[in-house]
Amino acid sequence: MTDQFANITTPLPGSQSEKLLERRNNIVPKGVSYGIPAFVDTAKGALVRDVDGNTFIDFVGAIGTINVGHGHPKVKQAIHDQTERYIHTGFNVVMYEPYIELAEKLAAIAPGSHDKKVMFLNSGAEAVENAVKIARKYTKRPGVISFNRGFHGRTLMTMTMTSKVKPYKYEFGPFAPEVYKAPYPYAYRRPIQVSETEYEDLIIQEFRDCFVNDVAPETIAAVVMEPVQGEGGFIVPSKRFVQAVYEECQKHGILFVSDEIQAGFGRTGKYFGIEHFDVVPDLITVSKSLGAGVPISGVIGRSEVMDAASPGELGGTYAGSPLGCAAALAVLDIIEEEKLNERAEKLGRIVMDRFRQLQTKYSFIGDVRGLGSMCAMELVKDLETKEPNKALTNQIIHEANQRGLLLLSAGAYGNVLRILMPLVITEDQLEEGLDIIEASIKEAIGGAIPAV
Ligand SMILES: Cc1ncc(COP(=O)(O)O)c(C=O)c1O
């Protein structure tokens, strides 16, 4: 038995949210989408309360941004203390210590014993943009390789590197030149009758073939990889694949960039997702949960690479703002003090156990996968054909929202339910959220889809 944390007392949207929604629709372009038709009043830990008094358990965490929980007292205190002294002077104008301290701390925890340097920006896309700029400057090469189903942002360069044509790219071209797409393993969707090992061999060979068929390796500055694909559907690559890509990079003098923007800061049970794969990236991009809601991002990298650009070539007005740095320093303390890496492992086991139980019951749960607490289930119309079931995924999310659970889809086909709850969620809240998913499944199928 769990206490009732989720509490929905009005139709969605409630009357207050409805008024705001009307104003929103009049003034905010429709291209800026929203998950549920509700406006937040307060958010704390893993609970979000809307302006009509409805309370939701949060399994989205602002898309992987709130690993330390909403409104953590230490984050609030750090921001408050920072505002008391100064809010912004522009690091490119008058420098401040929190930037230095955060850089030192990130360099100390990032993989590899080599000398590192760190710079800060605002958004995830901006971090990836800068990683590409730095890699080009250092290697004097133009090319960038990203992976099928990857997501790196919405700016011109990062949109080019991103997959999923609709909604991310359609009619937004022409795209940036010199970006090449490589295959990334998706074990669940491998051809039938091909073993996982054979499939890995195949994808590794296809990756190597890019340098024969698509582009000369000596023109490539960087390979940018998510250690676990986030938007792409929480796809965990094999260690062998990641290591093979890394070896190819080393062989050809290409920089290996780990995009940790969604997988980082405890989500997978480690500070950096790439730590699971025993490779040491040349550059790492970070954002999202680093700031616990205050915009900040960064690039961490080998000193000699990071120093390739000359003074004035990197930076930005708000890049690495004092408030972002203060929040991030608090986040790093919280992850350590509250042992959130270990906690992510534990929460992930609870979610995976429940998802596997559900998979034995329902014939439309094709795959259950994850790393740490970056967990997901993929929904299909048929276990044999694996035809994606986006409609059912959306229906379950809708039902979950009605019951007071915030939930988000992922995947190229929009048929993956991904879980990104704050890692400070209590086990009772987590169980209640999982119960809501189960109830939502039952309601969504209405008995129409046969159990396994
Ligand atoms: C792996 C990854 N890279 C980059 C980004 C872009 O971050 P932002 O939306 O802050 O620009 C995201 C956002 O979801 C992401 O998941």
Mean pLDDT by 10-residue block, N- to C-terminus, for the chain (452 residues)?
Answer: 83 98 98 97 98 98 98 98 98 98 98 98 98 98 98 98 97 98 98 95 98 98 98 98 98 98 98 98 98 98 98 97 98 98 98 98 97 98 97 98 98 98 98 98 78 51
Q: Are 85 and 326 spatial neighbours (Cβ–Cβ below 8 Å)?
A: no
b/e for 208-232, b at 16 or more Cβ within 10 A? Answer: bebbeeebebeebbbbbbbbbbbbb
Domain boundaries, the chain: 15-58+339-445, 73-337
The finding on whether 226 has its CB within 6 A of some atom of ligand 1 is yes
Q: Which CATH number fits domain 73-337: 3.40.640.10, 3.40.50.2000, 3.50.50.60, 3.50.40.10?
A: 3.40.640.10
The finding on whether 128 has its CB within 6 A of some atom of ligand 1 is yes
Residue of 66, 162, 288, 299 to test ligand 1 pocket, by largest number of atoms within 8 Å of CB:
288
The finding on whether 124 has its CB within 6 A of some atom of ligand 1 is yes
Cα distance between residue 246 and residue 103, in whole Å? 25
The finding on whether 163 has its CB within 6 A of some atom of ligand 1 is no
- What is the pLDDT, as a whole number, of residue 193? 93
357 C-alpha vs ligand 1 centroid, how far in Å?
31
- For domain 15-58+339-445, the question of CATH label 3.30.200.20 is answered with no
Q: Which residues pair with 44 in a beta bridge?
A: 47
Strand order in the sheet with 220-225: 116-121, 297-302, 283-286, 255-259, 220-225, 143-147, 179-182
Q: Are 289 and 266 spatial neighbours (Cβ–Cβ below 8 Å)?
A: yes
- Hey, whose CA ends up nearest to atom 16 of ligand 1? 262
The finding on whether 153 has its CB within 6 A of some atom of ligand 1 is yes
Q: Where are the alpha helices (DSSP H) in 140-193?
A: 156-161, 165-168
Residues whose CB is less than 8 angstroms from the CB of residue 256 and which lie 6 or more positions away in sequence, other chains included: 222, 223, 225, 245, 246, 249, 250, 279, 281, 282, 283
Cα distance between residue 111 and residue 141, in whole Å? 25
What count of Cα atoms within 13 Å lies in the side-chain half-sphere of residue 86?
12
313 C-alpha vs ligand 1 centroid, how far in Å?
23
Q: What is the residue type of 312?
A: G
197 C-alpha vs ligand 1 centroid, how far in Å?
30
Q: Are 332 and 260 spatial neighbours (Cβ–Cβ below 8 Å)?
A: no
424 C-alpha vs ligand 1 centroid, how far in Å?
22
Q: Are 101 and 325 spatial neighbours (Cβ–Cβ below 8 Å)?
A: yes
Cα distance between residue 314 and residue 92, in whole Å? 9
- What is the pLDDT, as a whole number, of residue 1? 44
The finding on whether 125 has its CB within 6 A of some atom of ligand 1 is yes
86 C-alpha vs ligand 1 centroid, how far in Å?
29
383 C-alpha vs ligand 1 centroid, how far in Å?
31
